[in-house]
Amino acid sequence: MEHTTSLTQFIIEEQRRIPGATGDFTSLLNDVLTSCKKIACAVNRGPLIGLQGSADTENVQGETQKKLDIITNDIMVQSLEWTGHLAGMASEEMEELLPIPEAYPKGKYLILFDPLDGSSNIDINVSVGTIFSILRAPEGCENPTLEDFLQPGTEQVCAGYTIYGPTTMMVFTSGHGVNGFTLDRNIGEFVLTHPNLTIPEDTEEFAINMSNQRFWEAPVKRYIDECLAGSEGPRGKDFNMRWVAAMVAEVHRILMRGGIFMYPMDEKMRARGLTGKLRLMYEANPMSFIVEQAGGASSTGRERIMEIAPQGLHQRVPVILGSKNEVERVVSYHAEA
């Protein structure tokens, strides 16, 4: 039988390379992957067990929640709160941070997650995902405050996502490159299938919601106009476009074959008092960590996302990430403007 490396084996071997590692982080990551397996089951069986459609409630972002938004959030909380590896949790679906209940031991890590990214795709059977970011809690801290969570992306210990698509895959980084694992349902394990993922520096593929075109700022308009002009324009080559409406799927495609993803600032958001569409702590920071570890770049157009000092748990930021040379080009257009 062909030898495969399971995600559990992979992280235990990584742990052995770190002198003094206690195994706490390894166990936490194992708990995260167990919750993602449970979410994969719920997502897969959704229409068979009445889990599709709206829950008719709103989250803190004012967005209507799907039934699966609530159920996947519960799965994450229930799978992680009792394990003793966490000091606290925060979720895109919950207004306040969630302390670990008194009944359970406290650990040294904090986790932030978007339990079901791209949930508008659920009812049409298109890819969705779970995104997570792990931070260290301050030394000896049992009851973390909001300030303890508001660490810049550069402080992340680990970031990852699970994509529930034709196959279920988990991709993560703990600061030593990016690796992808595919769920083998026959053995119930994530198996290493995509070692050392790297993003090509150049690309001919962009992802942006074109319906917002008339609201974009000048640098983004310029960049996309030049892509659309194709081989007759200043770029001298034709570009392709994709838009899945689930950041997990966009980032996954970029890790597989390069590309640039943008959810930039626009006039419509500004008029509504918003500072961007995507959430810094649950989407932008973890995805930026992964993309940078794979050799790509990530920016708001004006600053590196991972260096932003967070102001709130649900803060939104513009996001431009992917193939390095393209991201740098968009950043230079912002600087010129």
Please say which residue, 22 or 64, places its beta carbon nearer to ligand AFP. 64
How many CB atoms are located within 10 Å of the residue 174 CB?
Answer: 22
Which residues in 127-166 contact ligand AFP (CB under 6 A)? Answer: none
Q: How far apart are CA 223 and CA 334, in angstroms?
A: 10
Instruction: Report the b/e string of 119-153 with b at 16+ CB within 10 A.
Output: bebbeeeebbbbbbbbbbbeeeeeebeeebbbbbb
3-state DSSP assignment of residue 163: strand
| CB burial of residue 34 (10 Å; 0-12, 13-18, 19+) | middle
Which residues in 58-87 contact ligand AFP (CB under 6 A)? Answer: 63
Helix spans in 46-176 (H) = 67-80, 146-149
**Smallest distance from ligand AFP to CB 280, Å:** 12
Of 9, 54, 57, 120, the one binding ligand AFP by CB under 6 A = 120
Please say which residue, 137 or 249, places its beta carbon nearer to ligand AFP. 249
8 Å CB contact between 88 and 149: yes
**Smallest distance from ligand AFP to CB 172, Å:** 18
Of 46, 88, 118, 286, the one binding ligand AFP by CB under 6 A = 118
Nearest to 131 by CA among 83, 81, 62, 76: 76
Please give the size of the binding site for ligand AFP, defined by CB under 6 A. 11
Which residues in 245-284 contact ligand AFP (CB under 6 A)? Answer: 245-247, 263, 278
Q: How far apart are CA 225 and CA 62, in angstroms?
A: 33
8 Å CB contact between 13 and 174: no
**Smallest distance from ligand AFP to CB 273, Å:** 17
Interface segment toward ligand AFP; rule CB under 6 A; list 42-50, 94-102, 112-120, 265-273:
112-120
- Interface characters, 219-248, with ligand AFP (x: CB under 6 A): --------------------------xxx-
CB-closest chain residue to ligand AFP: 247
Interface segment toward ligand AFP; rule CB under 6 A; list 36-44, 49-57, 114-122, 162-170:
114-122
Which residues in 281-320 contact ligand AFP (CB under 6 A)? Answer: none
Please say which residue, 240 or 332, places its beta carbon nearer to ligand AFP. 240
Q: How far apart are CA 68 and CA 74, in angstroms?
A: 10
Q: How far apart are CA 96 and CA 5, in angstroms?
A: 38
Q: Is residue 119 a contact point for ligand AFP (CB under 6 A)?
A: yes
Q: Which residues bind ligand AFP (CB under 6 A)?
A: 63, 117-120, 209, 245-247, 263, 278
